[in-house]
A and B are shown apart, each in its own frame.
Chain A
Amino acid sequence: MSRFGARAYRRRQDDDPQKRQADLESADQDREWIARACYGDERAFEQLVTKYQERAVSIARNFVMEEETAKDVAQEAFLRVYRSLHRYDPTMRFYTWFYRIVVHLAIDHLRRRKRTPQNFAEPEAVWEHPGDGPVELLATTEVRGHVGQILERVPEKYRLLLVLRDLEGFSSKEISEIAGWNHATVRWRLHRARKLFREQWESAGLPTEM
C-alpha cells in the first residue's frame, strides 16, 4: 500500500463509525478487565496480557532490535502495569498508558546498553509468511538490519516517532497521548524524523531502490 493509500486507509478507518464503536467497546472491555484485576481476578489480567502482548513485543522490538530482549521489556511493562493498576485513570485509554510504559522501558534499556557496549547479533530472521521464499526472507532481513542501524543513529525522540508512526501505524493523535507531546509537536517532529532518516539512509550509502 502506498504512503498515500495507507494514510487514506487509516483516515477512512478513523472516520468509520463501526470502527469507532469497536474502539469504544474495546476500551470498555479493558476498563472492565482492569477493574476485575484490581479485585484480584487474575484471569482478567491474563486477558489484558493476551490482548496486548503482540503489540507490546513489537514496539519493544523496534527499539531494542532483539526478540528476547523485547519480550523481557514487554514482560516488565506488564508487571509495572499490574503493580500500578490502582493508579490507572479510567478516563484515559488503557493502551496509550500501557504503550507509554513499554516505550519508556525500551528507551531505558537502550540507554543502559549504550553505557555498557556489547556485541549484538544481527536481527533475527522471522519467517512471517509461509509463502516467503529464502530470497525474499533474506531481502527482508537485510532491510530490517539496515533500518535498525539507521534508527539507532536517529535521536530517541525522532526514533520514537518513526517506530510508532511508520512501523507500528499509530495515528499522530495516539502518539501524542503515548509520548505526552501535543499534536502539533508530534507532526512537526515526525516530519523532521523522516528527514533525518532519509539523510542517514543516504549518507550510509544504502540503496534507495528495493
Chain B
Amino acid sequence: MERKKHHTLTEVRRARDDEGVAISCEQVEFWLSQSLTQQDGASDAPKAIAAHIADCAECQTEQREMLQLSMARVESTPDPLFVRSVMARVRREPVPVRRQRRTALRFRAAALLAVLLLPISVFLVATIQNDTSETSTIGETETARLESNSIESNTKVKTAAPMSVQLDGFQSGYDRWRVDAQPNGGWIPAYRGDEGSREVVSF
C-alpha cells in the first residue's frame, strides 16, 4: 500500500492558496496531531486548518460525529458517599505502612547480617585461598624429608606437629626458595640455602 505523503503547513497553505489543490482530511488530521513548530508557521495554522474544515464535507461529517460523542459525555459530580465508601474499604485493607515497615525491617536485618558476615567471609576467603595454594602435608613423624621434585616454589609445608623439615635437592633457577610450614596452625617461612644444597629447616 502506498504510503500517504503528509504535508507541512507551508505546503498546505501553498496548495490551498496558490494551486487550489484540495488537501485530504488525513493530511490535515496528521498535521493537527503534530506539534506546531515555528518553521511551520504556527501562527497561521488555525486559518489553514479552519479553511480546510470549512470547505471539506468529510470534516463536517466528522465534526457532527464529534458533536454526537461530546453530547454523550456525562459530567460527573463529586460524590461524598463514594469517597466515604472507598475509604471504608481502604480501612479494611492492610495498612501500607505496615508493609513498608516490614520491608524496612527486613532490609535493615539483611544489612546487619551482611555487615556481620563480611569479616567472616573475608577471613574464610583468605583461608580458602591459603588452603588452595599448593600444600604439601608432612606426616606426623618427627622428621620428614621432602624431595625436590615434590615441592615447587612458594610451597607451603604443613606440619601436624612441631617437627623438623628437611629440604633436599632443590631445583635450580630460584634465588630464594621459600617453604612455609605450619606447625600447630601457624605458617612459618623457611628459606633455602645455596642452590643445590641440602638444607634442614627445623621448627
Interface residues of chain A, those whose CB is within 8 Å of chain B, are 2-4, 6-8, 11, 37-40, 42, 45-46, 49-50, 53-55, 57-58, 61, 71, 74-75, 78-79, 82-83, 85-86, 126, 128, 140, 143-144, 146-148, 162, 166-168, 172, 187, 190-191, 194, 197-198, 201, 208-210
B90 and A4: CB pair below 8 A?
no
Minimum-distance CB pairs A-B, first 8: A40-B97, A147-B72, A54-B76, A166-B69, A143-B71, A144-B72, A187-B33, A58-B76
Q: 25 A–B contact pairs at CB < 8 A?
A: A3-B53, A4-B50, A38-B97, A42-B87, A46-B87, A49-B83, A49-B87, A58-B75, A71-B79, A75-B85, A79-B93, A82-B96, A144-B72, A144-B74, A146-B68, A162-B69, A166-B66, A167-B69, A167-B70, A167-B72, A168-B73, A172-B33, A187-B33, A208-B64, A209-B64
B32 and A53: CB pair below 8 A?
no
Closest to B25 in A: A191
Closest to B29 in A: A191
A198 and B61: CB pair below 8 A?
yes
B93 and A198: CB pair below 8 A?
no
B91 and A42: CB pair below 8 A?
yes
Closest to B99 in A: A86
A198: chain B residues within 8 A (beta carbon): 61-62, 65
Tell me the bound Cα distance from A158 to B62 in angstroms.
Answer: 16
| B67 within 8 Å of A (CB atoms) | yes
Choose from A53, A86, A167, A194 the contact partner of B96 (Cβ within 8 Å): A86
Enumerate B43-85 residues with CB–CB distance to A below 8 Å: 46, 49-50, 53, 59, 61-79, 82-83, 85
Closest to B63 in A: A3
Closest to B94 in A: A83
Tell me the bound Cα distance from A55 to B78 in angstroms.
Answer: 10
B100 and A39: CB pair below 8 A?
yes
A4: chain B residues within 8 A (beta carbon): 46, 49-50, 53
B74 and A58: CB pair below 8 A?
yes
Tell me the bound Cα distance from A61 to B64 in angstroms.
Answer: 22
B61 and A78: CB pair below 8 A?
no
A61: chain B residues within 8 A (beta carbon): 74, 76
Tell me the bound Cα distance from A150 to B144 in angstroms.
Answer: 98
Closest to A163 in B: B69
Tell me the bound Cα distance from A194 to B68 in angstroms.
Answer: 12
Tell me the bound Cα distance from A37 to B89 in angstroms.
Answer: 15
Closest to B76 in A: A54
Tell me the bound Cα distance from A55 to B76 in angstroms.
Answer: 7
A126 and B74: CB pair below 8 A?
yes
B63 and A75: CB pair below 8 A?
no
B26 and A191: CB pair below 8 A?
yes
Given contacts A40-B97, A46-B83, A198-B65, list 17 more A-B pairs with CB under 8 A: A39-B97, A40-B96, A49-B83, A71-B79, A74-B82, A75-B85, A79-B86, A86-B96, A128-B75, A147-B71, A166-B69, A167-B73, A168-B73, A187-B30, A197-B69, A201-B65, A210-B71
B87: chain A residues within 8 A (beta carbon): 42, 45-46, 49
Of residues A37, A45, A53, A210, which shows the largest number of chain B Cβ atoms within 10 Å of its Cβ?
A53
Distance (whole angstroms) from the CB of B83 to the closest CB of chain A = 5
Tell me the bound Cα distance from A125 to B65 in angstroms.
Answer: 21
A7: chain B residues within 8 A (beta carbon): 32
Tell me the bound Cα distance from A45 to B89 in angstroms.
Answer: 12
Tell me the bound Cα distance from A167 to B64 in angstroms.
Answer: 14
A37 and B66: CB pair below 8 A?
no
A42 and B90: CB pair below 8 A?
yes
A2 and B63: CB pair below 8 A?
yes
B90 and A38: CB pair below 8 A?
no
Distance (whole angstroms) from the CB of B113 to the closest CB of chain A = 23
A194 and B90: CB pair below 8 A?
no
Tell me the bound Cα distance from A74 to B86 in angstroms.
Answer: 9
B69: chain A residues within 8 A (beta carbon): 147, 162, 166-167, 197
